[in-house]
Copies of this chain bind each other. A is one copy, B any other.
Amino acid sequence: MSAPGLRERKKQRTRDALIKVALELFTTQGYERTTVDEIAEAVEVSQRTFFRYFASKEEVAFALQRIVEEEFVRALAARPPEEGPFDAMRNAVLASWDGVGDAIHEVVPVELYLRNFLMIESTPALLAAHLRRSSEMEETVARLVARREGLDVDADPRPRIAVAAFCGVMRVTGQMWGKGTDRTLEAIRALTERYLDHLGPALSLHWREPGTRD
């Protein structure tokens, strides 16, 4: 268990190096302007080896994102069963924002993760991939929520519907965070809470009179 062997350790080091170098290059020069050859050369492996570690150039850009997503799923699964689905998802997101630092920190500084996230949102090809990954995530989450509530996802559409609405708001949150000026973890945490609070009221018809302002 504690002795991974030289071979394993070497692989892990290569993998981490590829991620680190790739993200560094992506965030400084831009994703499109960075070639796989360039990354491979910087780590001193062949291009072919890069593609043995990552199925595509895209995949390496999502290496950190994957960690965060897993963190969220773990957090959701850990929520007490008394919580309704919405509170559970909401609290899981907030909890995973808190835990993100530790989870990422072992590979790269958190700041690089945030820059990486901004890059994903602003690069069309990566945004597309991100959204597809998110939709796979939605499926996972819907199943989790259904299980919590003792429902069958394939017979009852409500879990998927609720999750879709929830994730839609989360996506807007990420977007708005990227557009803003306060690019800190605290900022995105605060936005998450604020936007989710708007979801219920936003469904009602009468926006003009009362209006939860801002």
Contacts and interface: CB of A to CB of B under 8 A. Distances in A.
A87 interface: yes
Interface stretch (A11-19, A107-115, A123-131): A123-131
Contacts of A160: 172, 176
A172 B168 contact: no
A198 interface: yes
Contacts of A165: 164-165, 168-169, 199, 202-203
A149 B207 contact: yes
Contacts of A211: 156
Contacts of A212: 158
Given A172-B157, A207-B149, A214-B156, A202 B162 contact: yes
Interface of A: 84-87, 124, 127-129, 131-132, 134-135, 149-151, 155-158, 160-162, 164-169, 171-172, 176, 194-195, 198-208, 211-214
